[in-house]
Amino acid sequence: MKALKAAVLVIVSIVIAAYIAFDGQQYLSLNLFQELYQQEPLLTALAYFAIYILVTGLSLPGATLLTLIGGMIFGFWMALLLVSFASTLGATLAYLASRFVLRDWVQGKFASYLTVINRGVEKDGAFYLFSLRLIPLFPFWVINLVMGLMPIRAWTFYWVSQVGMLAGTAVFVNAGAELGAVEEFSAAGILTPQLILSFALLAAFPFVVRQLLAGLQRRKGLRGFKRPKKFDANLLVIGAGSAGLVSAYIAATVKAKVILVEKDRMGGDCLNTGCVPSKALIRAAKSVKDIEIAGQFGIKVDKPSVDFNQVMARVKEVIKEIEPHDSVERFTQLGVDCIQGDAKLVSPWQVEVRGRQISAEKIILATGASPIIPVIPGIEQVKPLTSENLWQLETLPEQLLLIGGGAIGCELAQAFQRLGAQVTLVESMPQLLPREDTDIAERLTQALKSEGVKVLTGYQVASFSKMASGFSAVLQQASAESSDPAKIVSFDRVLVAVGRRANTAGFGLEELGLTQNANGTVTVDPYLRTSCPSIYACGDVAGPYQLTHAAGHQAWFAAVNALFGQFKKFAVDYRVMPQTIYTDPQFARVGLSEREAAEQGIEVEVTSYDLSELDRAIVDGNARGIVKVLTAPGSDQILGATILGSEAGELLTEFVTAMKYKLGLNKLLATIHSYPTMSEANKYVAGEWKRKHVPHGVLNWVEKYYRWKRGG
């Protein structure tokens, strides 16, 4: 079979190469068909039909020319019949050849990347193909070959292509027929109203069809619901977290009538249970560490004593200090109508809140996410802490078991260890921060271990048990191949940080038929529209990131598209999305990591600078960490940057800016950085890259030149 596939591929390649080398398109001339048509009309039609199938089946250039020629020779109706069936048959042959030769190899090699695409094609492949056929912006032959690699049936491909290409074929054939009817090829003869109309149709066709398809999509998503004649608001936002607040703020700024519904506290997770309290706790823990290492700087102090109640009291004070920024009072002053209560979608334009139905022309879902509680035998006995209920903790646990070695797990493990708990951090994957590069994860792991955190990677909790004093957990190796014995870990409290799941239950999404992804997030298009076109989603409920700044970034696109999408839509841009983990040292990354580059088959060049060599890091006693930059081979174009070190989140901004505005490492190297600062590390890593790309050949000649000048 492999030999047959190779033979087919070689034969097709030879034919295409010969066609291009000998300019086969020159034989598809009007004169050739006209002379034959005058003598043998039926034979000409059959020959034209066969040639058209051959050209399209082999993906040769010339299909458009043949379509115009067909209209000029056979007239509109006959040409439409011939071209419609010939183009569809040729496309199907190309589809079958692509499937036979390349499909197994492509699906096997890129299986991990094609899973979502395959699922979408299996579900809506006919509609995708129909859309592509109606809008002739993508090359005809590319669609044929790509669809051959996808899980779409041959018969479906054939009839959808036949129907989908008919309108476009008619426009092209009509243009050819009008050209064929021109008797005198002068300006006056050619520029007839009919011909001008034909070319106007040709130019307008993609845009008209695009609007038609958009209308069909809207009708599909709104089918079965009656649109209200009047609306209570232009925009209704469900959820007053980061995404919801930004959406409401933007709508109020442009003077739209906006209603914001929140069932709990304004500010959402970030203010009340996430970013703000966790960073306040981390800051308190850092103070303990600063006191402990003060002796390194010649400062003698007693061992710090932690009042955990006072620590948690300050956390609450910080929340209260920031609360006014996100309060009902502030947003009411901005012009937002804030309503407290559970919101449930009852139609694409209506939401029910406390028995009252509120209508809006557009709705934005910004309902956030909640911690995942794994199903583990005995977990109900241990009353697990999560990032939500952690802040009600009044007593510092002596022994804390923390499950999950991601961002939240690493941050809180270090913080509680510094505050005086003995923390055991368990991660089922082979390393902490499983999605990050191994060398970076190992450095961070060593930093946590050096402070006393017990790190157990490759283990998962099998069960919990209650003991006379406290609790115990049975840990088993996550890998089936491992023969290591189970471990028993004693603890007072357990903190679960294994991820978060989008909040979608209870909002009426299922009743409206809103599509959801496999991970539970709401499915959105590049403009953040859900499968119901009047409803948008942003933030954690939409994914793909669970970051406050990502939620705010999405909120701008969701609000602007919801309010002004009928005039201009903006596709959300994820190309430069930074992330920071607030451990000590901090971890920060933007763009590709080495792991991701390898998974995606992208060649990169890696340049690193160790912070142990940086003057400011040495002065501050923070000389640990690394700056690692990925560039395109032989280029200074930055594809990704990872930093592990003091204030890594602040240092990363320079790389975020550089990537956003396409500034290379040469630009960073030429930028003056104050001395002594941590930001010099960015310049030095650029210098390391430059050193590796020194033109040694030129420098050899320069050396000879200076030797000659010295009289050598």
Q: What is the DSSP string of 299-368?
A: ---PPP---HHHHHHHHHHHHHHHGGGG-HHHHHHTTEEEEES-EEEEETTEEEETTEEEEEEEEEE---
pLDDT confidence of residue 17: 60
In the numeric block, which tokens belong to residue 576?
Answer: 């430069």
Tell me what the mean pLDDT of segment 234-255 comes to.
96
Q: Which DSSP state fits 392? A: G
pLDDT band of 124, cuts 50, 70, 90: low
Question: Is a pLDDT exceeding 90 seen at residue 344?
Answer: yes
For the chain, what percent of residues have pLDDT higher than 90?
Answer: 59
Planar angle of CA 63, 69, 70, nearest 5 degrees: 90
Q: What is the pLDDT of residue 146?
A: 77
Q: State which amino acid sits at residue 644.
A: L
Strands 638-645 and 454-457: unpaired
Give the mean pLDDT of the chain: 86
Domains of the chain are 2-217 (no CATH), 233-266+327-370+502-564 (3.50.50.60), 379-499 (3.50.50.60), 579-694 (3.30.390.30)
- Please name which of 574, 676, 709, 692 lies closest in space to residue 629, comparing C-alpha atoms: 692
Q: Which amino acid is at 683?
A: K
Q: Is 402 helix (H, G, I), strand (E, B) or coil?
A: strand
Q: What does pTM read for this prediction?
A: 0.75
DSSP string, 4-61: HHHHHHHHHHHHHHHHHHTTGGGGS-HHHHHHHHHH-HHHHHHHHHHHHHHHHHTT-S
Range picked from 43-47, 224-228, 419-423 for highest mean pLDDT: 419-423
Q: What share of the chain is helix, strand, coil (3-state, %, to 5)?
A: 50, 15, 30
Q: Which of 104-113, 134-143, 261-270, 481-490 has the highest mean pLDDT?
A: 261-270
CB burial of residue 114 (10 Å; 0-12, 13-18, 19+):
middle
Nearest to 509 by CA among 348, 701, 290, 305: 348
Q: Is beta strand 258-262 parallel, antiparallel or unpaired with respect to 233-238?
A: parallel
Q: What is the tens place of the pLDDT at every residue in 669-684?
A: 999 999 999 999 999 9
- Asked whether the predicted pLDDT for residue 120 surpasses 60, the reply is no
**Can you give the pLDDT at residue 370?**
95
**DSSP secondary structure, 233-277, as one string:** EEEEEE--SHHHHHHHHHHHHTT--EEEEESS-TTHHHHHTSHHH
* Mutual angle of helices 41-57 and 63-74, in 10-degree steps: 160
What per-residue confidence (pLDDT) applies to 112?
47
pLDDT band at 184 (very low <50, low <70, confident <90, very high): very low
Contact (Cβ atoms closer than 8 angstroms) between residue 499 and residue 406: yes
Is pLDDT of 163 > 90? no
Q: Which two tokens stand for residue 533?
A: 């076109």
**Among the listed residues 638, 67, 621, 547, the one whose alpha carbon sits nearest the alpha carbon of residue 299:** 621
Q: What is the pLDDT of residue 709?
A: 83
Angle of helix 154-164 versus helix 111-134 axis, rounded to 10: 30
Q: Which amino acid is at 600?
A: Q
Q: What is the mean pLDDT of residues 33-50?
A: 76
Question: Lowest mean pLDDT: which of 112-126, 410-424, 575-589?
Answer: 112-126
Residue 221's pLDDT band (boundaries 50, 70, 90)? low
Residue written as tokens 């390649």? 13
34 by Cβ neighbours in 10 Å (0-12 / 13-18 / 19+) ranks as middle
pLDDT (tens digit per residue) in 90-101: 888 888 887 777
pLDDT by residue (tens digit) across 586-640?
Answer: 999 999 999 999 988 889 999 999 999 999 999 999 999 999 999 999 899 999 9
Residue 548 burial class via C-beta count within 10 angstroms: exposed 0-12, middle 13-18, buried 19 and up = buried
Burial (CB < 10 A; 0-12, 13-18, 19+), residue 671, is middle
Residues 469, 376: Cα–Cα separation, whole Å: 21
Query: Which residue would you say has higher pLDDT here, 712 or 539?
Result: 539
Residue 287 token pair: 């103070």
Q: What is the pLDDT of residues 60-80, one digit of tens each?
A: 766 777 787 788 888 888 888
Q: What does the radius of gyration of the chain's CA atoms come to, in whole angstroms?
A: 32
Which string of b and e fits 305-340 if b means at least 16 CB within 10 Å? ebebeebbeebeebbeebbeebbeebbeeeebbbbe
Checking if the pLDDT of 249 tops 60, the result is: yes
- Maximum Cα–Cα distance for the chain, whole Å? 109
Contact criterion met (CB below 8 Å) for 268 and 368: yes
pLDDT in tens, 387-436: 999 999 999 999 999 999 999 999 999 999 999 999 999 999 999 999 99
Half-sphere exposure of 697 (CA within 13 A, CB side): 0
Distance CA(4)–CA(101), nearest Å, equals: 9
